[in-house]
Amino acid sequence: MFYNLKGLTVAALAFMITPALGQQLTFDCTTGQTAGSCGQTFFTTFCSSIANQVIPPGGSTQRCFTAGSGLKCDFRARNTDPVNSRNVTTQDCETALNVVNLVCAQGGSAQFIGKEFQFFGLPNEGVCRNECGN
């Protein structure tokens, strides 16, 4: 797959794994982006902050964390259901973003097969703006 992100064309490598929960998870790793660690502290804080939040059909919620050394971490949860509002679960969010963090040095996205939320974790150069989480 190819995506045009901020004027850069990035290729995504698609994979499917089965985490300890026994559910299949697909994920895409981006390339051509800034490599950096958007570690567990950041994504668990993000997932806790959006736990049980109701997201409208096709909508998303996002947060940014300044990681230091000129790096920021952008996280997003997107409801892929075109009809129904859905609640984000902490467990799905943390598991999906943990896979992205461990496998994708330049960030990416993950989604459980048969579930409505797609989760994104992307390291980027810069600092978060006022509307960001940190």
pLDDT tens-place string over residues 46-67:
999 999 899 999 999 999 999 8
The pLDDT assigned to 57 comes to: 97
- The candidate with the shortest Cα–Cα distance to 92, out of 62, 61, 113, 63, is 113
Say which residue, 36 or 24, is predicted with more confidence.
Answer: 24
Neighbours of 73 (CB within 10 A): 28
Has residue 5 got a pLDDT over 50? Answer: no
